[in-house]
Chains A and B, each alone.
Chain A
Amino acid sequence: MLHYVTVNIDGADIKAPKGSSVLEVAIEYGICIPHLCHVPGLSDIGACRLCIVEHVTNGRSQVTTSCTLKVQEGMVIRSNTDRIKRLRHNIAELLVAEAPNSRAIQDIAVRCGVKKVRYPFRNSNCVLCGRCVRACAELWHANALGFVGRGKDRHVERPLNMRQEFCKGCDYCIQLCPMTITPCDGPMKPGEEYLCGKCESQLMITEEVPDSCAWCRLGEGFNCGRYAGVKS
């Protein structure tokens, strides 16, 4: 039997199954918390930091990623305070500076209200969200991909830098990668990156009802939890 706990997210008391994460519950109940590395059915590692929320305990609030935060009885979560918005804005800005060549990440930047990127574009074509790595290990049990190196040299690589015979060739890593959908105007050349921001009209909907999921198209590119089951 499923045990339920009551959590308070943005003022709404929600009955949530024990063991689920705050992000899952919020998506289920139509509360929009932007996220990138979360894929339904895979373990959460809190890599992209986009899904940060404030967890209020004893009058103090702690900022933490909601995908790795499990629901507890009487929890109080705030997902759309000024502090969170400011931090999330900055994180989205850093993500889009790291990898502007992705519609999914450009959309997230728009969703988080990024108007200008203050950081130099690095165009490294990977934000280390680990979607491919986790899908390979957990869904297919192939372990044909993983993180290699450390610090600024950390990157996704195949074992011994070559394709191994145990790679099943399912291409699921490519399907899940947020980099596979290029911006509408095609891939950007190095040195000519820009913030797309063309879908700002979508933002109007999310601004009118700030913390509820307006089913904006901005989440489609990276299979936002809302869209996960819709496509297939």
Chain B
Amino acid sequence: MNLSKLESILKGRSSQPHQLIEVLHDVQEHYGYIPEEAMREISKTLGVPLIEVYRVASFYKAFKLKPTGKYVITVCNGTACHVRGAQLLLDQATSQLGIKPGEVTDDGMFSIEHVNCLGACALGPIASENGTLGHHMTPAKLRKLINSLNREVKKEVKHA
């Protein structure tokens, strides 16, 4: 883990417990999740007990304690999307990738998440890939999307 970035995040914020959530947000933004070492460092620098950092990080859904995949498939489970068959999308994604929501594939490329609303109910059901919304999704369209992402992954592996 690259600690220099963490140091720059914590710079000028030492001994300021009220900055905890801000710091966690910045760490989440940079690393994609909140690593254990970062939590220990935050606890030391801000003067907050470690359990307090862990408690806050585990309380909010916005903070992730495990690394996510390179491609995050987010299925909206809001009311509008739900009545238009969001569950079918979730079933499609979980069966195709072989992981449950909140998990990461073994190669670390994909993870699935479900959220309560993405705020685009008229376009539902929605499945987004790394923040790019896919509107009026069907299980078939989602399968194609995941297949195309899979091809990209394979290409990258070849080039690397």
Contact = CB atoms under 8 A, between A and B. Distances in A.
Contact of B51 (A145, A149, A150): A145
Given A160-B36, A160-B39, A146 B59 contact: no
B35 to A, nearest CB: 11
Interface residues of B, number: 11
Contacts of B54: 146, 148, 157, 159-160
A160 B36 CA distance: 7
10 contacts: A143-B49, A144-B51, A146-B52, A146-B54, A148-B55, A148-B58, A158-B51, A159-B51, A159-B53, A160-B36
Contacts of B58: 148-150
Interface in A137-163: 137, 143-150, 157-160
Interface of A: 137, 143-150, 157-160, 164, 166
Contacts of A150: 58-59
A149 B50 contact: no
A162 to B, nearest CB: 10
Contact of B50 (A137, A143, A147): A143
Contacts of B51: 143-146, 158-159
A128 to B, nearest CB: 13
A163 to B, nearest CB: 12
Interface string B45-81: 0000111111100110000000000000000000000
B55 A146 contact: yes
Contacts of B53: 159
Contacts of B49: 137, 143, 146, 159
A159 B54 CA distance: 6
Interface of B: 36, 39, 49-55, 58-59
A149 B65 CA distance: 12
Given A143-B52, A146-B51, A149-B58, 9 more contacts: A146-B52, A146-B55, A147-B55, A157-B54, A158-B51, A159-B53, A160-B36, A160-B50, A166-B50
A144 B39 CA distance: 15
A133 to B, nearest CB: 9
Contacts of A145: 51
A143 B53 CA distance: 11
Nearest to A153: B58
A215 B52 CA distance: 39
Nearest to A162: B36
A166 B51 CA distance: 11
Contacts of B55: 146-148
Contacts of A146: 49, 51-52, 54-55
B9 to A, nearest CB: 20
A149 B36 contact: no
Of B50, B51, B55, B59, most A-chain CB atoms within 10 Å: B51
A144 B54 CA distance: 11
B56 to A, nearest CB: 10
Contacts of B39: 160
Contacts of A143: 49-52
Nearest to A142: B49
A175 B109 CA distance: 46
Contacts of A144: 51
Nearest to A166: B50
A164 B53 CA distance: 14
Nearest to A155: B58
Contacts of A160: 36, 39, 50, 54
Nearest to B60: A150
Contacts of B52: 143, 146
Contacts of A158: 51
